[in-house]
Amino acid sequence: MKKILYVVTKSNWGGAQKYVYDLATSLDKNLYEPVVVLGSPHEDEQASGVLLERLKVEGVRSIEVGSMQRDISLGKEWAVFWNLLGIILKEKPDVVHLNSSKAGGLGAFAARICFVRHIIFTVHGWPFLEKTPGRLRTLMKFLSWLTVFLSHKSIVVSKDNLEIGKRMFLVGNKFKLIYNGVKKVNFYEKAETREILRKKVEVITGVSPAKDALWVGTIAEYTRNKSLDVLVHALAKLIDNRRDLKVFGFLIGDGEERKILETKIKEDGMTNHIFLTGFIPDAARLLKAFDVFTLVSQKEGHPYTLLEAGAASIASVGTNISGIQDILSESNLVEPNNPNELERILESLLTDSTLRQAQGKQLHEKVEKDFSFSKTLSETLALY
């Protein structure tokens, strides 16, 4: 039996965490023993600890590393490294599968010292593509290269990320493109879903959004990378300019930018039209509530939320960036940080139900054809 040690930095519920969860809980238990190493939950994060709890329910053993966090601190990095080294020495895994940049670099170094035979690193979007100061971006690029260098194979989840990897000095032959795949989602039906969200919003804000209106939604962490302020601005302009349309916006998630978004919504006079729902477990089940789904991030890997929106046959709009480009057609892409363009494409979809249905069907067919989880699993196991 092969022991697979998965390492991921945070214990919240995001793309990298879902990726680890799906793989770890789908392995044949007669052939593989999964163990997940992850950061400890944080009390100030609403969704923190979700991955840990879900792994417990599925009977997958987890090991918490309290010092493992996304923010960089030399003292904590040193502690994380020694923790990972000790865990690998004790567990003696056949495969170490690393996820996220911090877990990747430190974990790859520790695994090399322990002579692990198969070190796999999944790139959930290159971190140096984020908007950061030049020196920090250069450092992130070097650390990403070093992680790939120390790993035996690296998985990328988008075509653009693959092309970037292929151009890296000495390591261009280490990359394999394996798209994220979506499992079957047990969606609520539209009427039921709208009632669930309506009641939740009513409790939070006292506002009861009309169930027969046009609903635009997203599921995302409230972080700068997700550019949710751009979505708020575009929705506010649309609602102001098209008062003949009854439109509501729903931002499902939570995170560090919550106060900023609350202020933005208030300043735009949209407290009765745009709602921050907070984190909702299994939020994908609610996707059929929306007439249009949006994801306007500045950086993505290969976003599950768009795949799930496609599985739900929801017309979707996203930014013209790595990962999203692999899922949506060109007509449904907008440039990052462009609320005017986003408003325009949202208006065209919200005023044409036939177009929405056609695009939802097209996306559904693409997700079923190209992004199945069974394909993701089989191609990943081949690297183990």
pLDDT of residue 43: 57
CA dist 90 → 63, 71, 99, 104, 260 (Å): 12, 27, 20, 19, 44
Residue by residue, pLDDT tens for the chain (384 residues) are 999 999 999 898 989 999 999 999 999 999 999 999 998 876 556 566 899 999 999 999 999 998 676 555 666 788 999 999 999 999 999 999 999 877 899 999 999 999 999 999 999 999 998 877 888 889 899 999 999 999 999 999 999 999 999 999 999 999 999 999 999 999 999 999 999 999 999 999 999 999 999 999 999 999 999 999 999 999 999 999 999 999 999 999 999 999 999 999 999 999 999 999 999 999 999 999 999 999 999 999 999 999 999 999 999 999 999 999 999 999 999 999 999 999 999 999 999 999 999 999 999 999 999 999 999 999 999 999
Residue 276's DSSP bridge partners are 251
CATH superfamily name and code, 190-370? Glycogen Phosphorylase B; (3.40.50.2000)
CB 122 within 8 A of CB 144: no
Best CA proximity match to 213, nearest among 269, 146, 119, 290: 290
CB 219 within 8 A of CB 284: yes
Best CA proximity match to 332, nearest among 372, 360, 291: 360
pLDDT of residue 273: 98
C-alpha span between 249 and 153 (Å, rounded):
41
C-alpha span between 245 and 249 (Å, rounded):
13
Contacts of 229 (CB under 8 A, 6+ apart): 257, 260, 261, 264
CA dist 22 → 2, 6, 60, 371 (Å): 18, 11, 11, 14
Burial 151-160 (b: 16+ CB within 10 A, else e): bbbbbbbbeb
* Dihedrals phi, psi of 226, to nearest 5 degrees: -80, -10
Q: Give per-residue pLDDT as tens, 110-154.
A: 999 999 999 999 999 999 988 778 888 898 999 999 999 999 999
Residue 274's DSSP bridge partners are 249
Spell out the long-range contacts of 353-356 with Cβ–Cβ below 8 A and sequence spacing 24 or more. Answer: 355/315, 356/291, 356/292, 356/315
Total count of residues recorded for the chain:
384
pLDDT of residue 266: 96
Q: Which amino acid does the sequence have at 2?
A: K
Burial 328-361 (b: 16+ CB within 10 A, else e): beeebbbebebbebbbebbbebbeeeeebeebbe
Handedness of CA 268, 274, 279, 285 (dihedral sign): negative
Residue 34's DSSP bridge partners are 4
pLDDT of residue 134: 80
Cα 383 to its chain centre, rounded Å, is 23
C-alpha span between 17 and 9 (Å, rounded):
9
Q: Which amino acid does the sequence have at 242?
A: R
Domain 2-177 = CATH 3.40.50.2000: yes
Structure tokens, 357: 């249905």
pLDDT of residue 47: 65
Handedness of CA 193, 301, 135, 108 (dihedral sign): positive
Q: Give per-residue pLDDT as tens, 204-237.
A: 999 999 999 999 999 999 999 999 999 999 999 9
**Helix ranges restricted to H, the chain:** 15-24, 50-57, 74-91, 101-113, 134-150, 159-166, 190-205, 228-241, 258-267, 304-311, 339-350, 353-370, 373-383
Structure tokens, 219: 């599921």
Place of tokens 């768009």: 306
**Helix ranges restricted to H, 25-171:** 50-57, 74-91, 101-113, 134-150, 159-166
Intrachain domains 2-177 and 190-370 with the same fold:
yes
CB 56 within 8 A of CB 90: no
Helix, strand, or coil (residue 43): coil
Cα 23 to its chain centre, rounded Å, is 15
Structure tokens, 90: 């004790």
Instruction: Report domain extents, the chain.
Output: 2-177, 190-370
* Dihedrals phi, psi of 165, to nearest 5 degrees: -65, -40
CA dist 325 → 65, 295, 319 (Å): 35, 12, 8
pLDDT of residue 129: 86
pLDDT of residue 145: 96
